[in-house]
Structure 1
Amino acid sequence: MKYILLAFYMLTSINLVAQNLQVDSQTYTPQQLIEDILINSNCITNVTVTNVVGGNFGGTDQSYGYFDATGTTFPFQSGIVLTTGRLSNVEGPNTTLSDDDAVNWFGDNDLENILNESNTHNATIIEFEFTAVANLISFRYLFASEEYQQGNPNTCQFSDVFGFLIRETSNQNYTNIALVPDTQTPVKVTTVHPNIPNGCAAQNESYFGSWNTASAPINFNGQTAVLTATASVVPGATYHVKLVIADEQNFRYDSAVFLEAGSFQLRTDLGPNRLLATNSALCENETLQLNASQTGATSYRWFFNDVEQLGSNNSTFDVMQAGKYNVEVALNNSCFSYGEILIEYAQNPMVQNTNIIECDINQDGLTTFNLFDATQNITNGNASLSVQNFYLTDLEAQQDINQIPNPTTFQNSIPQQVVYARAENMFRCFSVAEITLDISNNVLNLPDFYICDDNVADGFSTFNINDLISHVEPLVPNGATISFYTTEQDAYNDSNALNGNYTNSTPYSETLFVKVENNGNCYATSRINLNVVFTPQLLPNESQIYCLNTFPDTIQLFAGILNDNPNNYSYQWFFNNQLISAASPIIDINEIGSYSVIATHQNGCSATRNITVVPSNAATITDVIIEETSTKNSITINVSGQGDYQFALDNQIYNDNNIFTNVNAGFRTVYVLDKNGCGTVSRTISVLGFPKYFTPNNDGINDTWKPLGVNAQFNSDITITIFNRYGKLLKNISPLKAGWDGTINGFKLPNDDYWYKVVLSNGKEYRGHFTLKR
């Protein structure tokens, strides 16, 4: 973000001009900027500017030029600057947004190709060629940008791009040397910045310079530290350099590259900086020999923190403290080559001697150790330290030779042998710790662990490892770690420990191996016997019927013990999940509901059986609906009750249908049966019908005529009247008598059709005729 100055600044700005970097686009030509300002050396020759591209602002302003920072806080006093906006916008203070564009100001294909970018704009380019007399050249630079925005996640996403591209003139492939030191990472906003809260983690933060306030000498929000670009060259060969910077994606938010005057020099490589930030610092008491040897060198001058080290005029220099080291190498052509390196020191790790206590079956003091078990104690839990190797002697540990080849299964050769661990930090600095190998003398006698067989009585069951741990815990120190293994070797190697559930592999009894560790050391090893004991086998769960019509009679429920004497068990009975007082294998009940029984063997194992008692009942016949006086009489039997019923008529052949058709007239008996065995009920009914003829010949068959289904029980109040074909009343028949015998006043009537009229008590009337045959 930009900083807005108040009127106070405007009133006093004339006194602050000297604090701001000044730019000049007119005094120096591009050739002079490169040859006289950037290089200014007789040892780099044949300097020729071959191409210049910049923004066209329609006046004298350019997008490149000279800068003078004398008297400011800017790291360079002077040099050249390339920007993606107007050169005049480079000058401080940092109070406006540099956000320029120009007509037909395009990007650069070489920059896009080598940085794998696309869609660049506003490219400022200066290309030149040179010849050097040494095999390395370098120059110092600083990148600044408006896209540095303090506390803004945009800093994590957007960045203009620039490159210092170099190639031998006979080669068409460029190499970019504007890189984060000791990496192949291009320098830009997104690769060099501190932590951005709620945005992104720091990237190469040690090479970030500063966030710029309103009083900064340049008009950009942030800048890198001073960086050095270095290239290997062939002495006497001609090289082509392309200095290029461009906006990326759009012209917004300009950036600039500042190159220090006179910094384009012959270079002597002293190796990469050894810094804490890059995990390459030297370790305390470590000596590093710097080597500036170079063909054609005539003398060497060494500097420590810019102070010449008198008497140090050899090609090598031994570093023994942190600081900045420089070398000036005089060459036989009166040229000089310069080298620089920054050295920082890291402390050696703090470690402590420790011991490992392992278990030993025969107590001879010799056993197998996992040396890595000592890591936590050696490093005191410091996660930044690592123990990689172990050694038989301290000297071997110091020299990192003859590492113990099998540290996870190391067998000591003498009781209480001492071995040595080399602990390193991120800088590969190390310290050596002693590990004393000892054995435990603890004896642990574990009681057997019993578990009931599962539903299939086969001697196999599932053991919960947590239950086994709880079984052992009272016998070992508080906080000890308890592990179980199927083999003794696994126990000693700490491999294949059992977790979760374990099913025994041999029926009824199996032995596991137990290892107890306390404070990281073996406390004891032992064995534990796992026993699968007999579990009661019961009849399957079932349902039983209770006939409500037999209440308060009782039925019996059985615990259902199989293949054993019921007297070997204790019993708990529950009714609807509530414990009841019954405690025998058989109980008498007369209530419906859910019953369960837990049968517990004398060995403590138990099984549960559930019995659901459901109601049933003999039926209550609520109604018999009769459709009668036709050739297709029917009966429908309606009942109530909690049973499951079947129905029969006369012959007690039952079926599920409660409707009977084609029923003959007369007296009938209906039956209702409860399928669950709670009884049968019946009812006699009358189906009214009218015979079509009768034969009063005293043969005992059809000697009288009377409606079928009529008697004193069912229809004593029925009226039955007989007429001849002319309507003459012949006889009133009583339903209590046998019927009409075909006579009137003792005289036999002839064969003929006669008529009847039957009136029921409800007023319903039936009429018809019948035949008298003698």
Structure 2
Amino acid sequence: MKQYFIILCVFVSSLTYSQNVITDSNTYSAQELIEDILIDSNCITDVVVTNAVGGNFNGPDKSYGYFNANGSSFPFQEGIVLSTGRLINVQGPNTSLSDDDANGWGGDEDLEYALNESNTINATILEFNFRAVADQISFRYLFASEEYQEGNSNTCQYSDLFGFLIRKETETIYDNIALVPGTTTPVKVTTVHSGIPGACQPINEAYFGGWNYSNAPINFNGQTAVLTATANVIPNETYHVKLVIADEQNYRYDSAVFLEAGSFQLSTNLGPDLLLANNSALCPNETILLDASQPGTNTYRWFKNGVEIPLETNPTYLVTDAGTYNVEVVIDGTCFSYGEVVVEMAANPTVFNTTLSSCDYNLDGFTNYNLFDAETDVTNNNNALTLENFFFSEAEAISNTNPIPTPTNFDNTAINQIVYARVTNANGCISVAEVTLTFANNPIVFPLYPGCDDDTNDGITSFDLDAMEAFVLSNNNVPNTATITFYGSQSDLENQTNPLSGTYENTDSSYFDTLYVQITDNGICYAYASIYLTVNPSPELISDEDMVYCLNLFPETILLEAGILYGNPIDFNYQWQLNGTDLLESTEQISVNEVGTYTVTVTNSDGCSNTRTITVLPSNLATIQDILITEASDNNSITIVVTGEGDYEYSIDNGYFQDSNIFTNVSAGYHTIHIQDKNECGTISADVSVLGFPKFFTPNGDGYNDFWNPVGLDYMEASVTVNIFNRYGKLLKELSAFGSGWDGTFKGELLPTDDYWFVITFSNGKEYRGHFTLKR
């Protein structure tokens, strides 16, 4: 082992100008860093560095080398450091981002394989072989990273990787020993931190050193606590170690791992710490034998809480109480190996004896139990305790032998039988509680539970079981925290089959029925009882109906009736509503003059009700909007256009009423139209004239058809002119629209049989033209 006292003294003296960690990437070779700085022990031999890889920054700086605390608060005074960036950027204070890269700086497949990750770059690697005379080696380290970012969710997602990989020289598969203590979890930013509010919870926080601010002695945002890496080895066997750190995914945000100088040393494996936090602490009256045996001619000294235990020089020591235990092993009189284990003591669970009740349906003292229903009372609802099983004796519960095979379906074999509950805590400590089995005997009597029949009054109706449950809970003898279950028969109750829910319809028309109720409280049977159902008749009413109110008769009223079919109306109560609004009417009949939906609720002396709906619809006289006439044609027609709330029918000249508002083949002349409301709200009439022209006339003096004159002219139309022409357009006669007509003469002379022409002109300019025949 080489020594460099002069160089080191000069170097250290140059570090006194600041209070930050400083680094040196040039003074020590890789061999010297491992053999003289990290190990520095004659008991670890054949140390040979086989590989050193780092970033090429085209200058003297490297990504690995020596560091010194330089009087700062950094927990290691000196050691070696491996980084994913320039070593110069490791030095404090934490005032800049270490974010380095270098050409051709690759990753490491062994690291990726060991940590089950991928895509590493910028890997810094130191590999070496060694042999040790003990069966365990260990060293202390600390991981720091720029990817620790306080309050930033990236801390929950991203982390550079590092590993301390070890294997036998003759093997190829590495074990990673850079693990969270007591786990197989690699140490990373994402596995050791104090949590990011709103992003991720703390994880392994006990091993997080803290966030670094601008006055930190290193240039990284956060760091772990001081951790120990431990590996079991075969004495005097050659092992290969690969110390490696790498960026993951990209080069951004560098990280570093610091290894304490001289901490790579022999160690004695005393086993894992037995801690309350890890649920591995010893239970009362439990012991553990610590074994520090090492090959060779050795001596042993044991310590408890830093004080040597007198006369304890054997390779084993029996621990009976809590403490920090250390062993010092001198191997072959020259090499020292140290081991330590922390032993904590856990208390036995606090449990409580209790009584478990169940329903004894046939009152013979024997019934069925779910023994786990007693768990809440036995553990006092302590979720940190586990009720493992039940036993017939306390001894069997303690030894965990012959558990009751069906504890959830257990039939007691003796009255007031006692079974024993075995309870454990997270550390495996045991307590036993007695559970006395009894049965519920809380007699409860319910009054008749009434229901109301439906419209048919056949003695069968539906009962709302939710309302019935409230009825049961209202009984003063029933706990208000109870759970209620209904059954349709005693057999179903005893067999716990076919529980009822929702609604229940009684099965016959006797107006009576029985339900069976089980009452449990906090999962424990409290009582069972019968509920006797009675079905009371409901008022029977006539069917819903529609009525008509004639708006034209307002404020006259119509009479609405509740419509009771059976019974004296004075024996019922009434409530009337119009469109959902209470009318404050309480009589069997009411008078109304408003349309809408009326409901009447009729209630008898048993409190049973029935409801009838009367819809009052509007009707009214018709209002004529228009009369459309097709006249002076071969098919005269009249169309009546009306509005109104009624349902109308129509007749002409006192004929039969029809639904259609159109009359066809109407003769020319004057007519009377009648419009009648089918709901008997009245009839209105209108006079209508239809214009027509005779096709011929026979002026022969027989008193029949002796004159030609238009028919259907509205008598209000006073300015109508009627002119008659012969076929040559000669005006023969100008008639008065309301005179007797033309007698077929011109200037006193009879005109011959022929066709003659007419033009009728109205005051609005409308004209009718046509011709007719004069026959002699």
Regarding TM over 0.5, the answer is yes
Q: Deviations over 1:582-636 (max 9, x none)?
A: 633x666554332222233554332323222222234355765656556554434
Matched, 1:514 2:554: no
SS of residue paired to 1:408:
coil
Question: Quick check: 2:153–2:200 contact (8 Å CA) kept in 1?
Answer: yes
- Deviation of the 1:677 alpha carbon: 4.6
Structure 1 segment 208-223 matched on structure 2, within 5 A: 208-212=208-212, 218-223=218-223
**Match of residue 228 from structure 1:** 228
**Match of residue 49 from structure 1:** 49
Question: Quick check: 2:451–2:461 contact (8 Å CA) kept in 1?
Answer: no
Matched, 1:141 2:141: yes
Matched, 1:614 2:614: no
| Partners of 1:215 and 1:773 in 2: CA distance | 136
| Partners of 1:347 and 1:733 in 2: CA distance | 128
Matched, 1:418 2:418: yes
Structure 1 segment 250-329 matched on structure 2, within 5 A: 250-293=250-293, 298-329=298-329
Question: Quick check: 2:649–2:678 contact (8 Å CA) kept in 1?
Answer: yes
**Match of residue 375 from structure 1:** 375
**Match of residue 385 from structure 2:** 385
| Partners of 1:88 and 1:476 in 2: CA distance | 82
| Partners of 2:761 and 2:91 in 1: CA distance | 131
- Deviation of the 1:694 alpha carbon: 3.9
Q: Deviations over 1:717-739 (max 9, x none)?
A: 8999999989788999985x8x8
Question: Quick check: 1:687–1:708 contact (8 Å CA) kept in 2?
Answer: no
- Deviation of the 1:761 alpha carbon: 11
- Deviation of the 1:110 alpha carbon: 2.2
| Partners of 1:86 and 1:740 in 2: CA distance | 132
| Partners of 1:174 and 1:543 in 2: CA distance | 93
Matched, 1:431 2:447: no
Question: Quick check: 1:297–1:329 contact (8 Å CA) kept in 2?
Answer: no
- Deviation of the 1:163 alpha carbon: 0.7
Matched, 1:169 2:169: yes
- Deviation of the 1:574 alpha carbon: 3.2
| Partners of 2:732 and 2:221 in 1: CA distance | 136
Amino acid at match of 1:126: L
The correspondence for 1:523, drawn from 521, 526, 540, is 526
| Partners of 1:105 and 1:85 in 2: CA distance | 11
Instruction: Classify 1:433/1:636 alpha carbon distance in 2 versus 1 (closer, same or farther; 3 Å).
Output: same
Count residues in correspondence: 754
**Match of residue 484 from structure 1:** 485
- Deviation of the 1:209 alpha carbon: 3.4
| Partners of 2:720 and 2:214 in 1: CA distance | 129
Instruction: Classify 1:496/1:353 alpha carbon distance in 2 versus 1 (closer, same or farther; 3 Å).
Output: farther
Question: Quick check: 1:155–1:189 contact (8 Å CA) kept in 2?
Answer: yes
Amino acid at match of 1:514: V
Compute the TM-score of the two structures, normalised by the length of structure 2: 0.81
Q: Deviations over 1:336-387 (max 9, x none)?
A: 6543222233333433333334443455554333333333333334333333
Instruction: Classify 1:27/1:303 alpha carbon distance in 2 versus 1 (closer, same or farther; 3 Å).
Output: farther
Amino acid at match of 1:579: L
**Match of residue 7 from structure 1:** none
Question: Quick check: 1:482–1:517 contact (8 Å CA) kept in 2?
Answer: yes
Question: Quick check: 1:298–1:330 contact (8 Å CA) kept in 2?
Answer: yes
SS of residue paired to 1:475:
coil
Question: Quick check: 1:544–1:611 contact (8 Å CA) kept in 2?
Answer: yes
Comparing 256-265 with 449-458, which one deviates more in the overlay? 449-458
Amino acid at match of 2:527: A
- Deviation of the 1:162 alpha carbon: 0.9
- Deviation of the 1:404 alpha carbon: 3.1
Structure 1 segment 622-633 matched on structure 2, within 5 A: 624=627, 628=631, 633=636
Instruction: Classify 1:488/1:659 alpha carbon distance in 2 versus 1 (closer, same or farther; 3 Å).
Output: closer
SS of residue paired to 1:282:
coil
SS of residue paired to 1:407:
coil
**Match of residue 8 from structure 2:** none
Question: Quick check: 2:146–2:253 contact (8 Å CA) kept in 1?
Answer: yes
SS of residue paired to 1:663:
coil
SS of residue paired to 1:474:
coil
The correspondence for 1:646, drawn from 646, 649, 659, is 649
**Match of residue 341 from structure 2:** 341
Question: Quick check: 1:703–1:741 contact (8 Å CA) kept in 2?
Answer: no
| Partners of 2:215 and 2:14 in 1: CA distance | 14
Extract unaligned runs of 5+ from structure 2: 1-12
Amino acid at match of 2:404: I
Question: Quick check: 1:483–1:497 contact (8 Å CA) kept in 2?
Answer: no
Instruction: Classify 1:691/1:309 alpha carbon distance in 2 versus 1 (closer, same or farther; 3 Å).
Output: same
SS of residue paired to 2:655:
coil
**Match of residue 10 from structure 2:** none
- Deviation of the 1:706 alpha carbon: 5.8
Question: Quick check: 1:397–1:421 contact (8 Å CA) kept in 2?
Answer: yes
**Match of residue 707 from structure 2:** 705
| Partners of 1:767 and 1:51 in 2: CA distance | 127
Amino acid at match of 1:209: G
| Partners of 2:45 and 2:695 in 1: CA distance | 149
**Match of residue 158 from structure 1:** 158
SS of residue paired to 2:474:
helix
Quote the RMSD (CA, aligned, Å). Answer: 4.6
- Deviation of the 1:73 alpha carbon: 5.6
**Match of residue 29 from structure 1:** 29
**Match of residue 10 from structure 1:** none
Comparing 267-276 with 361-370, which one deviates more in the overlay? 361-370
- Deviation of the 1:565 alpha carbon: 6.2
| Partners of 1:270 and 1:493 in 2: CA distance | 58
Question: Quick check: 1:693–1:705 contact (8 Å CA) kept in 2?
Answer: no
Comparing 566-575 with 24-33, which one deviates more in the overlay? 566-575
SS of residue paired to 1:303:
strand
**Match of residue 674 from structure 2:** 671
- Deviation of the 1:442 alpha carbon: 1.8
Question: Quick check: 1:718–1:758 contact (8 Å CA) kept in 2?
Answer: no
The correspondence for 1:579, drawn from 564, 579, 583, is 583
Instruction: Classify 1:230/1:732 alpha carbon distance in 2 versus 1 (closer, same or farther; 3 Å).
Output: closer
| Partners of 1:762 and 1:769 in 2: CA distance | 22
| Partners of 1:210 and 1:716 in 2: CA distance | 112
- Deviation of the 1:580 alpha carbon: 5.6
Matched, 1:445 2:435: no
SS of residue paired to 2:408:
helix
The correspondence for 1:691, drawn from 685, 689, 694, is 694
| Partners of 2:35 and 2:765 in 1: CA distance | 141
| Partners of 1:743 and 1:393 in 2: CA distance | 144
| Partners of 2:271 and 2:86 in 1: CA distance | 38
- Deviation of the 1:456 alpha carbon: 8.7
Question: Quick check: 2:25–2:66 contact (8 Å CA) kept in 1?
Answer: yes
| Partners of 1:329 and 1:490 in 2: CA distance | 74
Instruction: Classify 1:432/1:671 alpha carbon distance in 2 versus 1 (closer, same or farther; 3 Å).
Output: same
| Partners of 2:165 and 2:575 in 1: CA distance | 92
**Match of residue 602 from structure 2:** 599
- Deviation of the 1:685 alpha carbon: 4.3
Question: Quick check: 1:597–1:608 contact (8 Å CA) kept in 2?
Answer: yes
| Partners of 1:729 and 1:242 in 2: CA distance | 138
**Match of residue 394 from structure 1:** 394
Q: Deviations over 1:399-429 (max 9, x none)?
A: 3333333333333344433333333333333
**Match of residue 201 from structure 1:** 201
Q: Deviations over 1:516-574 (max 9, x none)?
A: 34566543222324556555565654433334456677656554567x66868654333
